[in-house]
Amino acid sequence: MKYPQLLLLIALALLSVVQAAWQQFQLPALVAVHFNAAGQANGWMTRAYFLGYELAFTLGTSAIFAAFAFLTSALPAALIPLPHKEYWLAPERSGEARRRLAGMVLASGCGAVAFFIFLHQLLYQANLERRHGFSPPPGVVITVAVVLVAGPVIRPLARFSRTPAPPAPSPRRR
């Protein structure tokens, strides 16, 4: 397969559907969905609205990242925000660079959807236990989000930030 990350993104999207289906009959009628810095609930939604939001958010995010990944092959080079794009998007390297960019976008999408699944599971647990408190500190949740979403982008961007050095001229023989 050209993009194994796409298979993972589809699997994660399907997992979000399974998660919502599993939670549908277990959540209370009123679901705590927003928590203050102390972890106390201060915002609620109906169960049906929450489940619709959960599905729309994870499936929509999956679709957006997939669309952006495939747009990398169709967009003009001027619209692609890439360091040293004149080098990386030169005709002899453009195909490989665009493939790597698409993989990077898909991997970041996998991280985003995995984070939403994690977040929805935390919301589910908080509501199922009827404690209406969010157990991990906000810093932990934010750290997980950054690692899952930005992590897959760091290494490829570092690669694109460098261009190979031109070959050294060969010494002249006398």
For residue 34, being part of any structural domain is answered with yes
Average per-residue pLDDT in the chain?
Answer: 85
Task: Please indicate, yes or no, if residue 52 is contained in any of the structural domains.
Answer: yes
22 in a structural domain? yes
How many structural domains comprise the chain? 1
Q: Is the pLDDT of residue 5 over 60?
A: yes
Provide the domain limits for residue 109.
4-160
pLDDT at 20: 92
pLDDT tens digits, one per residue of 105-128: 999 999 999 999 988 888 888 888
Within 8 A by CB and 6+ apart from 103, the residues are 3, 5, 69, 156
pLDDT at 166: 66
- Global pTM value: 0.81
Report DSSP state, residue 72.
Answer: T
Residue 166 placed within a domain: no
In a domain, 173, yes or no: no
DSSP-assigned beta bridge partners for residue 43: 34
Q: Is 171 among the domain residues?
A: no
Q: Is residue 169 part of a domain?
A: no
> In the beta sheet, which residues pair with residue 41?
35
For residue 48, being part of any structural domain is answered with yes
Tokens of 16: 């979000």
Shortest CA distance to 80 belongs to which of 164, 88, 96?
88
Q: What are 126-155's pLDDT values in tens digits?
A: 888 766 566 666 677 778 888 887 877 777
